[in-house]
Amino acid sequence: MALNTFTRRGLAMLAGVGIAALTIGQAAAADPVRIAAVVQSLDTEFNVLWANAANEHPLVKDGSVKLTVLDGRMDALTQSNQFDTAISEKYDAIIFVPVDIDAGNDPVQRAKDAGITVIGSNTLISNTDLYNAYIASNDVEAGKMLAKSVFDKMGGKGNVVIGEGMIGQSAQVQRLQGIEETLKDYPDIKVLEQKTANWSRAEALSLMENWLTAHAGEINGVIGENDEIAIGALEAIKAHGLDPKTIPVAGVDGVTDALLAVKRGEMMSTLQDADAQAQGAIDLALVAKQPDYKPQAKVWDVNGGKLAWEGGKSQHYSVPWIPVTLDNVDGLLEMRKTQ
């Protein structure tokens, strides 16, 4: 873990030099709105998609908003330090994708005390009242959709295994809650095994191989709390000589490999809309500064999307999940190429 931190710290130092150079380079431009985005980790695909989407926001592209993305390196303390930096650098707003549900509260409180707008995105902190506003997809709902898709395909009865995320993270806690709530409606479904694969495909692969050996012929469905876990399980099923179409597998997030697997008819997935969460958060940060601001993200109803803008006055916006189907998968894959 210490080594790990070192790796990330080294990268941060490089990034820091880069940011400093950029800041100096742009100091001459006319006063843009300065927003710092403190994200979980730029070595997970979703956060990268999120950061890319944020940089594609029209006002970031035309230079009227200056966005700085800070890599939290999956470490709550690092994120807290980045908040301190953003506060002392007097950023106009901070967008926060917290690593830890509880450790995230205090930095937000400090920024709020310093009079800086803080917008939450993607993952949650336990005290969301501290935010000016937050925009996220409901992970309990994702857990429900995930479980229901597998259970229905199993015909409502049989044995499932659950590959869990990193224990204690908000996505793991809430997706599991959704799965457990759904289980109550399916009395004939039995959970054979439930263990963490730490969001990792390689770990899920070994885990599933071992489960297929331990419960030969007994596993009728697989729930992965994210796509990486579901894909690892899917590969184990195939390596075991089983037909993936006979064992329903589902994950969440809509990473590229999952989209490809859905297209092959081998798994089910639900897309988490990174564009909406990232660009929507920037819109919320800007409307907090200028009440007459017109939002840019496509997800808002005023721009033809499904999420009600409500003049930017709401405190909580819930971005709808997009179930990946054979009908929309080609379009999503096409979109992914440009992200």
Residue ranges in contact with another protein by CB under 8 A = 3-4, 6-7, 9-11, 14, 42-45, 47-49, 193, 195-196, 200-202, 205-207, 209-211, 213-214, 216, 231-232, 235, 238-240, 255-257, 260
Tokens read off for 196: 């963490």
Name every residue whose Cβ is closer than 8 Å to that of residue 84 and which is 6 or more positions away in sequence. Answer: 107, 110
Handedness of CA 223, 76, 124, 316 (dihedral sign): negative
Handedness of CA 159, 161, 167, 171 (dihedral sign): negative
Q: What is the nearest approach in angstroms of another protein to the Cβ of residue 21?
A: 16
Tokens read off for 102: 């509880």
- Minimum CB distance to another protein smaller for 158 or for 232: 232
Alpha-carbon distance of 298 to 233, in angstroms, equals 34
- Minimum CB distance to another protein smaller for 52 or for 105: 52
- Minimum CB distance to another protein smaller for 43 or for 102: 43
Q: What is the nearest approach in angstroms of another protein to the Cβ of residue 130?
A: 29
- Minimum CB distance to another protein smaller for 200 or for 220: 200
Tokens read off for 124: 């949650």
What is the DSSP secondary structure assignment for residue 268, as one 8-state letter? E
Tokens read off for 43: 């070595």
Q: Could you tell me if 139 and 178 are in contact, meaning their C-beta atoms sit under 8 angstroms apart? A: yes
Over its C-alpha atoms, the chain yields an Rg (Å, rounded) of 21
Residue 109 Rama label (left phi>0; alpha psi -120 to 50; beta) = alpha
Q: What is the nearest approach in angstroms of another protein to the Cβ of residue 18?
A: 12
CA angle, residues 55, 225, 243, in degrees to nearest 5: 115
Tokens read off for 125: 């902190």
- Minimum CB distance to another protein smaller for 125 or for 204: 204
Q: What is the nearest approach in angstroms of another protein to the Cβ of residue 216?
A: 6
- Minimum CB distance to another protein smaller for 161 or for 284: 161
- Minimum CB distance to another protein smaller for 288 or for 333: 333
Residue 24 Rama label (left phi>0; alpha psi -120 to 50; beta) = alpha
* Nearest alpha carbon to residue 174 among 129, 128, 221, 237: 128
Tokens read off for 287: 């409307």
Q: What is the nearest approach in angstroms of another protein to the Cβ of residue 298?
A: 22
Q: What is the nearest approach in angstroms of another protein to the Cβ of residue 78?
A: 15
Q: What is the nearest approach in angstroms of another protein to the Cβ of residue 41?
A: 9
- Minimum CB distance to another protein smaller for 114 or for 242: 242
Q: Could you tell me if 321 and 142 are in contact, meaning their C-beta atoms sit under 8 angstroms apart? A: yes
Q: What is the nearest approach in angstroms of another protein to the Cβ of residue 230?
A: 13
